[in-house]
């Protein structure tokens, strides 16, 4: 989607979107005669700016050009306003614009005093909501002639030049980069499983390198063997497609890193994502019904790739390492078997009960490896447990970990971003569930008992002493069967925007 910024007097387009608070008589940024005409129209339509409501004015009812259309999008009550409502409202307006075949749409950006918070945040939310809601995964489809086409161009229309500042342009550019990173990670997870084996994912990752900023190192099978990454290797052993590990490093510009107290070095974050390019369950094979959904079992790693695409465009004040382990979980002749013992990177062994509980072994290697980088924060994201979907449904990710401050921040930032998180405990009392007679640990607990929590306790065993760590189980929100406000059905890109906002703010 092309994005332009102009002032109102230069607007010559045909389809314009305006926002309206519930109870107001005119849309925002619409004073004077235009506003009066519209208030009459809105009253006639009984459009009162309610949340989730839109109204399309086809222009024929007003003076002027009959080809002109105006779409009003409700923001709900002014005192309940939050920027995420803008993303949802513009998404609905874009649908209406598609319905009337608009190729290009203008959006009236309110004046600063009309909305709570920063105007730049409002404009950024417009752009994000528009790009995210217009996303399609259609590379394998032939479009039908009567199908709506996404709008190709969005113009932000400002009431005056003061509002269209350099800072505003920067905020909008950042929003575009953020939304495009989400679309990129959605593309990766929506891609069918066979065209995206581990080495192909590594190739895509290598393409994100940027000189002086982002380094990408791919550890192939032989290197994983040398390092002793038994988790990634054994899970990948049932497939003809060898596993691998991508290690990204983002280095902030000199002077931009925040100093870490007396230690005098830049803060370091490690972000890890589960990258199972297809989860058949392996020898503990899954039931075939619904197995196609397991192409998205790499969405944690897809989020890591999306984050590094985004980091290629923006300055953040921390060093960021990204670890994306890739493997295909298949029941081939070399596959790991229930009863096997896996030795992980830090030497800890785990008894395998179900080869379908594979993700935790990739994460275990990476958490141990990530800990050697002495991070100030380590976050892992994984479509880890079906139990998480049972507990929290498909809109909430679970947070577990030892860093309460970061957990609280993720919940708060997530609410701003429209990505939802809920904390689960990591009680020592349940550690007994992981006792094994043949290895240091059993890799799962009792069937049907606190699956998400026990998986978290397993991961904790691989986090280095004193490393602040948060595990994000995205089994629910990584993929949606229905359209959400500005998220079409399919891979969602959750929780990229929340993690990006956390990195942007610094830790």
Closest separation in Å from C-beta 386 to ligand BES: 3
Closest separation in Å from C-beta 125 to ligand BES: 29
Q: What is the C-alpha to C-alpha distance for residues 91 and 125, in angstroms, rounded to an integer?
A: 10
When CB distances are held under 5 to 8 angstroms depending on the partner's kind, the choice from ligand BES, Zn ion, none that residue 59 binds is none
Respond yes or no: is residue 113 known to be catalytic: no
Closest separation in Å from C-beta 445 to Zn ion: 15
Respond yes or no: is residue 360 known to be catalytic: yes
Contacting ligand BES within 77-96 (CB under 6 A): none
- Pick between residue 3 and residue 293 the one whose CB is nearest to ligand BES: 293
The helix (H) or strand (E) run that includes residue 231 is helix 230-236
Q: How far does Cα 397 stand from its chain's mean position? A: 11
Smallest CA-to-CA distance from 459 within 447, 472, 446, 449 is with: 472
Site residue total, ligand BES (CB under 6 A): 16
Q: What is the C-alpha to C-alpha distance for residues 360 and 310, in angstroms, rounded to an integer?
A: 26
Backbone angles phi, psi at 153, to 5 degrees: -145, 135
286, 343, 348, 504: the catalytic one is 286
Q: Does 242 bind ligand BES (CB under 6 A)?
A: no
**Residue 177 contacts residue 128 (beta carbons within 8 Å):** no
**Residue 462 contacts residue 491 (beta carbons within 8 Å):** no
- Pick between residue 212 and residue 290 the one whose CB is nearest to Zn ion: 290
Contacts of 306 (CB under 8 A, 6+ apart): 181, 182, 184, 185, 188, 493, 496
Contacts of 264 (CB under 8 A, 6+ apart): none
295, 360, 442, 497: the catalytic one is 360
Q: What is the C-alpha to C-alpha distance for residues 410 and 316, in angstroms, rounded to an integer?
A: 17
When CB distances are held under 5 to 8 angstroms depending on the partner's kind, the choice from Zn ion, ligand BES, none that residue 71 binds is none
Q: Does 357 bind ligand BES (CB under 6 A)?
A: yes
Contacting ligand BES within 429-488 (CB under 6 A): 444, 451, 475
Backbone angles phi, psi at 26, to 5 degrees: -130, 155
Q: Does 331 bind ligand BES (CB under 6 A)?
A: no
Smallest CA-to-CA distance from 248 within 325, 301, 326, 322 is with: 322
Scored b (16 or more CB within 10 A) or e, 92-120 reads bbbbbbbeeebebbbbbbbeeebbeeebb
Among 150, 386, 464, 506, binds ligand BES (CB under 6 A): 386
Structure tokens at 333: 């002749």
**Residue 358 contacts residue 232 (beta carbons within 8 Å):** no
Residue nearest to ligand BES (CB): 386
When CB distances are held under 5 to 8 angstroms depending on the partner's kind, the choice from ligand BES, Zn ion, none that residue 451 binds is ligand BES
- Pick between residue 24 and residue 297 the one whose CB is nearest to Zn ion: 297
Among 236, 300, 302, 359, binds ligand BES (CB under 6 A): 359
Q: Quick one: which segment of 24-32, 239-247, 381-389, 456-464 binds ligand BES (CB under 6 A)?
A: 381-389
Residues at the contact surface with Zn ion, assessed by CB under 5 A: 276, 279, 297, 356, 358-359
Closest separation in Å from C-beta 46 to ligand BES: 43
Among 328, 356, 376, 419, binds ligand BES (CB under 6 A): 356
CB atoms within 10 A of CB 365: 28
Q: What is the C-alpha to C-alpha distance for residues 487 and 134, in angstroms, rounded to an integer?
A: 9
CB atoms within 10 A of CB 484: 18
Among 358, 365, 380, 419, binds ligand BES (CB under 6 A): 358
- What is the pattern of x (binds ligand BES, CB under 6 A) and - over residues 292-321? -----x------------------------
Closest separation in Å from C-beta 445 to ligand BES: 8
Among 128, 279, 365, 376, binds ligand BES (CB under 6 A): 279
When CB distances are held under 5 to 8 angstroms depending on the partner's kind, the choice from ligand BES, Zn ion, none that residue 128 binds is none
Active centre residues (catalytic): 286, 360
Which stretches of the chain bind ligand BES, using CB under 6 A? 279, 297, 354, 356-359, 383-387, 389, 444, 451, 475
């Amino acid at each position: 989607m092309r994005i332009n910024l102009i002032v109102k007097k230069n607007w010559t387009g045909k389809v314009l979107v305006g926002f309206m608070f519930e109870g107001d008589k005119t849309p925002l940024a619409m004073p004077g005669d235009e506003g009066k005409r519209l208030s009459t129209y809105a009253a006639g339509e009984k459009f009162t700016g309610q949340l989730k409501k839109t109204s399309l004015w086809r222009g024929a009812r007003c003076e002027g050009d009959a080809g002109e259309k105006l779409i009003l999008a409700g923001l709900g009550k002014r005192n309940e306003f939050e920027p995420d409502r803008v993303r949802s409202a513009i998404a609905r307006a874009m649908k209406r614009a598609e319905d009337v075949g608009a190729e290009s749409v203008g959006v009236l950006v309110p004046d600063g005093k009309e909305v709570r918070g920063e105007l730049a945040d409002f404009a950024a939310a417009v752009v994000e909501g528009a790009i995210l809601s217009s996303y399609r995964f259609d590379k394998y489809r032939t479009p039908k002639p009567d199908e709506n086409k996404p709008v190709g161009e969005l113009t932000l229309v400002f009431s005056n030049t003061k509002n269209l500042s350099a800072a505003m342009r920067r905020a909008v550019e950042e929003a575009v980069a953020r939304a495009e990173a989400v679309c990129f990670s959605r593309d990766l997870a929506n891609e069918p499983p066979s065209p995206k084996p581990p080495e192909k994912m590594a190739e895509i990752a290598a393409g994100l390198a940027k000189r002086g900023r982002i380094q990408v190192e791919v550890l192939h099978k032989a290197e994983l063997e040398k390092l002793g990454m038994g988790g990634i290797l054994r899970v990948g052993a049932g497939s003809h497609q060898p596993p691998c590990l991508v290690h990204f490093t983002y280095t902030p510009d000199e002077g931009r890193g925040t100093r870490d107290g007396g230690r005098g070095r830049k803060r370091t974050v490690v972000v890890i994502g589960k990258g199972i390019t297809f989860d058949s369950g392996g020898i503990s094979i899954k039931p075939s019904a619904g197995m196609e959904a397991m192409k998205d079992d790499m969405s944690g790693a897809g989020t890591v790739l999306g984050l590094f695409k985004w980091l290629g465009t923006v300055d953040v004040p921390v060093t960021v390492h990204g670890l994306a382990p890739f493997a295909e979980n298949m029941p081939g002749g070399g596959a790991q078997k229930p009863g096997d013992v896996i030795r992980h990177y830090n030497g800890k062994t785990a008894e395998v009960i179900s080869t379908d509980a594979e993700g935790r072994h990739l994460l275990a290697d990476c958490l141990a490896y990530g800990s050697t980088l002495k991070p100030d924060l380590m976050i892992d994201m994984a479509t880890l447990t079906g139990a998480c979907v049972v507990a929290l449904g498909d809109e909430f990710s679970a947070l577990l970990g030892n860093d309460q401050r970061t957990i609280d921040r993720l919940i708060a930032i997530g609410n701003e971003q429209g990505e939802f998180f809920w904390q689960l405990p990591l009680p020592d009392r349940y550690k007994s569930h992981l006792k094994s007679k043949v290895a240091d640990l059993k890799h799962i607990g009792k069937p049907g008992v606190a699956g998400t929590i026990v998986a978290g306790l397993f991961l904790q065993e691989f986090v280095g002493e004193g490393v602040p760590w948060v595990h994000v189980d995205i089994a629910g929100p990584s993929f949606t069967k229905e359209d959400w406000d500005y998220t079409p059905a399919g891979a969602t890109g959750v929780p990229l925007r929340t993690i990006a906002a956390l990195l942007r703010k610094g830790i």
